[in-house]
Chains A and B, each alone.
Chain A
Amino acid sequence: MIVADRKPIQEILEMVKDCKKVLIVGCKGCVTVCNVGGSKEVGVLAATLKIAFKKEEISIEMDEKTLERQCDPEYVDQLKDMVDDYDGIISMACGVGPQFLSAAYPEQRFFPAVNTTFFGGAVGHGIWEERCAGCGTCVIHYFDGMCPIARCSKSLLNGPCGGSADGKCEISKDLECIWDMIVRKKMEHGRIDDLLEMKPAKDWQTARDGGPRKSVREELANE
């Protein structure tokens, strides 16, 4: 899923401080799963903002709404009867949400309440980790189910760098060296030979480096 973190309250406050009436829109997709932008978090943000504004003696009216998804015009459409009632709208979806909302309602202003961080999953209660860099050409099968593009700090394709120590990455003792894990798994399973051949330079054209991407599925697009 797409993982995000909520922006600091002060930053959100600054965005909407000139609005008299604000709508906070959550999303039931990824941001609900990673507990950052679902209906529960919409409620928490509304309450927090109300208190913060009250402290600064600013009166502001706030409503809440959570859509099935903000990355789908069908659901974005559900805001059409209320969108003009507000001075500004805060989106708690990933970075896709406020853009889909802005495109659908060009007269309205939308503010992101979260920082979209990565594609990942929960590894413990309240802890998420990055797993995919969305490079457009999946290679995890070469590395026993672990992606060095996303999980090595240098995206190395040919083994651990000289900074790998005690299973940790050189950039932080809190970060596992994915290459250490790949090498150890290959050794355990007797597949170390897989790592002796040089992996050639990656073609980054399918990644963001090739420009903004688009996916067209003909059978659906032509329906």
Chain B
Amino acid sequence: MSDMKAGSNLEKVLKAGHFAFTGECGPPKGANVEHLKEKVAHLKGMVDSVNVTDNQTAVVRMSSWAASAIMVQEGVEPNFQMVCRDRNRLAMMSDILGVYAMGIRNMLCLSGDHQRFGNHPQAKNVYDIDSIQLIAMVKMMRDEGQFMNGEEIDESPRLFIGAASNPFADPFEYRVHRLAKKIAAGADFIQTQCIYNMDKFRDFMKMAVDMGLHEKCYILAGVTPMKSVGMARYMAKSVPGMDVPESLIKRLKDAGKGKVAEEGIKFALEQIEEFKEMEGVAGVHLMAIEWEHRVPEIAERAGVLPRPEV
């Protein structure tokens, strides 16, 4: 175990060479702990760790660290997300120490959606540091035992460091370099943006594999099952950096009334099957948005159960 960076379940699963399967859970828009516990219960035993989003889409919710700590109490391993939009480096470092103290062992470093999208567009946007600098900062705290200013930390936070990659944002040719930069900064694992354009993702992974990035870092492919044609259209049109091919929208539409969600799940399952075989892909990150109760079924049908005990 001495070669473990943080010793989280996710790290152990990946290090043991298993195909990882992670989930996601948004904290409540309020202090409704029971609702959070209920959502988390659906994911227990179904995934290796659960991403806890940090004011996603710039909408205020229960803090990701508090929701992560509740998850630890519930016996589900969280992957604590932190965005650069809301905190300066002081707040970030203190929260990093705080989450570690609360038993959290995974952390995902993100830029964050601009507050203009959210429910407080009047807010000041912080961006003291960017996501890549955040990765480097967490690594420095963990491996050098130092704060950003070089001062010594009294007991460093041992966190398994994650980062995001969006192969579908522009400029496409640069995306693999940005991934490489995140890995060089200290990312131990990557979770990609939701994938719908499989051709483009294959190209992206080929570039990543050619650069040997999959040997330096675990890459988890992002999957979000489409629940409806409306959701597919919304994602295609209104979510920046999201690539939803027209063929998928047509496939969902053709499924007919009452059968769209099942078709969405079928597409996700086909994707997961392909990812299991795809060179350089170490697992799947399933973002079943407000669909936590469907995760057991999806995991079962994807053949990823039972999750490995490591």
Contact = CB atoms under 8 A, between A and B. Distances in A.
Interface of A: 153-168, 170-172, 177, 180, 183-184, 187, 192, 195-196, 198-202, 204
Contacts of A153: 114, 116, 125
20 contacts: A154-B84, A154-B111, A155-B127, A155-B130, A157-B133, A158-B181, A159-B181, A160-B170, A164-B171, A164-B240, A165-B241, A166-B170, A170-B114, A171-B114, A180-B170, A180-B171, A183-B171, A183-B174, A195-B177, A201-B128
Nearest to A184: B171
Nearest to B134: A201
Contacts of B111: 154, 156, 161-162
B128 A163 contact: no
B113 A170 contact: yes
Interface in B102-142: 111-114, 116-117, 125, 127-133, 136-137
B152 interface: no
B177 A163 contact: no
Contacts of A165: 169-170, 240-241
Main secondary structure of the interface of A (DSSP, over half): loop
Contact of B137 (A159, A187, A201, A204): A201
A184 B170 CA distance: 10
Contacts, number: 104
B4 to A, nearest CB: 25
Given A160-B171, A165-B241, 8 more contacts: A153-B116, A154-B112, A156-B130, A159-B132, A163-B169, A164-B171, A196-B177, A199-B133
Which size bracket describes the interface of B in this complex? 35 or more
B133 A162 contact: no
A165 B236 CA distance: 12
B178 interface: yes
